[in-house]
Amino acid sequence: MFIPSVESKFLFTADNHIKSRTWTNSMLLHSDAYAALNAASAWLTDKYQEQIQTLVIGGDWFDTDRPTAEDMLQSVEFLKRFHTVYYIRGNHDKKDPSFLELMKYMPDVDLVNLEGTTVFLTEDMKTAMTGINYTDSADDLKAKIQLCHDQAKSQNVETLYLVLHTSFKHLLNFGTSKLEIRDIEALFPDMVVRVLVGDVHTRDTVNICECNGSYIHSPGSTYPTSIDKTAEEPAMSIIPVTGTQIEDIPCQVRMYWRVEYIDRSDLDSTVDAAMDAQVEGFLPPFIRVLLPEGKELKLLQSDYPDVVVQVTKMTADGGEVSEIKNRTAHESYTLQQAVSDEASEDADLRDLAVALLETDDPVAEIDRWLEFWKVERLA
């Protein structure tokens, strides 16, 4: 399938994980995904005055194969600002057809899956883009990449933008990765290749192929999806078609703080500092309290109504472990896995079940969730 699309720049994003709550273990940490889209949209309007008309999604737009109505609404509001949306499916939205494909019914928006598609980005058809949906097997992925190379070569393409959703070793730094830089260099010895990749949630750009203009670029997620990502500034990327200077679009919508607990006055001071530094329009600050072994801290939601506080216990050797009540970490993991495997496919109900397993006061926990859902308990 050939689609001409001549534009000097396009927007690339990945791992948006559009959902209401950021982390299951912090019910008050919500709306970050939606706010990130609004922040990016406002920045584009201010900086480019609607000039960026093409969006490329590198997988995991949604966090699940069953997004909520609010997830869909927020997506429509953002995607309708573009004329063309190219995408691949990630491991979190790999269902075929993807819910993202429902957006094809939006007026004035062309939605195209990049797998099996060649998009020409320049009038001379020397620069093109294609993509591959999430693929479980590393060998199958490499075979598909080889086909992309061969197809581009047969079309006399000189520069190919390749959109993937996969783990690269240099981005992951641990565990099992499907690809390494040398794999791309070996598969593309005779053309410029610019890999736009999602999956690892890490912002990074590395030049490859002896700096002939080839690179691998990961934009990171648009908001922190785990505690270890809170130090990074979330962003989307403006990609130039004929150059290599990538521009970040800031998507930060919440400030993150960390305090080692000594006494309540330290926490009070951190909360005051967070409120003094609060940016207008940002979501409430998130404060992570590291509680030394042997210390106790009891908090009510009403104690600090303007911030989100999460207490994390520290071990004797200086390590950190999320607070677990009345059971070992192994027992907690087993119970959570059972809920994940056996409970309803409804994400909210599954998260509620996990929360109930981790609380000493299930009735109070249920009331908190009913308040969050804006549901009144029947007498």
Q: Are 241 and 7 in contact (CB under 8 A)?
A: yes
- Kindly write down the DSSP assignment for every residue of 23-87, as one continuous string: ETTEEEEESHHHHHHHHHHHHHHHHHTT---EEEE-S-SBSSSS--HHHHHHHHHHHTT-SEEEE
pTM of the full structure: 0.83
Q: Are 169 and 200 in contact (CB under 8 A)?
A: no
Strand partners, 313: 291, 321
What does CATH list as the number for 2-250? 3.60.21.10
By the 10 Å C-beta count (0-12 exposed, 13-18 middle, 19+ buried), 81 is classed as middle
| The two structure tokens encoding residue 191 | 């053309």
- The secondary element (H helix, E strand) that includes residue 94 is none
Full pLDDT tens readout for the chain, 379 residues: 556 666 799 999 999 999 998 887 777 889 999 999 999 999 999 988 778 999 999 999 998 888 888 999 999 999 999 999 999 999 988 777 777 777 777 778 889 999 999 999 999 999 999 999 999 999 999 999 999 999 999 999 999 999 999 999 999 876 678 999 999 999 999 999 999 999 999 999 999 988 789 999 999 999 998 888 898 899 999 999 998 999 999 999 999 999 998 889 989 999 999 999 999 999 999 999 998 888 888 887 788 989 999 888 887 665 665 543 333 333 344 445 545 544 545 566 666 676 666 666 677 777 777 777 666 666 5
Q: Output the pLDDT for position 369.
A: 72
Collapsing DSSP to helix, strand or coil, 167 comes out as coil
> Where do the domains of the chain lie?
2-250, 254-323, 328-379
Q: Output the pLDDT for position 75.
A: 93
CATH topology of domain 254-323: Double Stranded RNA Binding Domain (3.30.160)
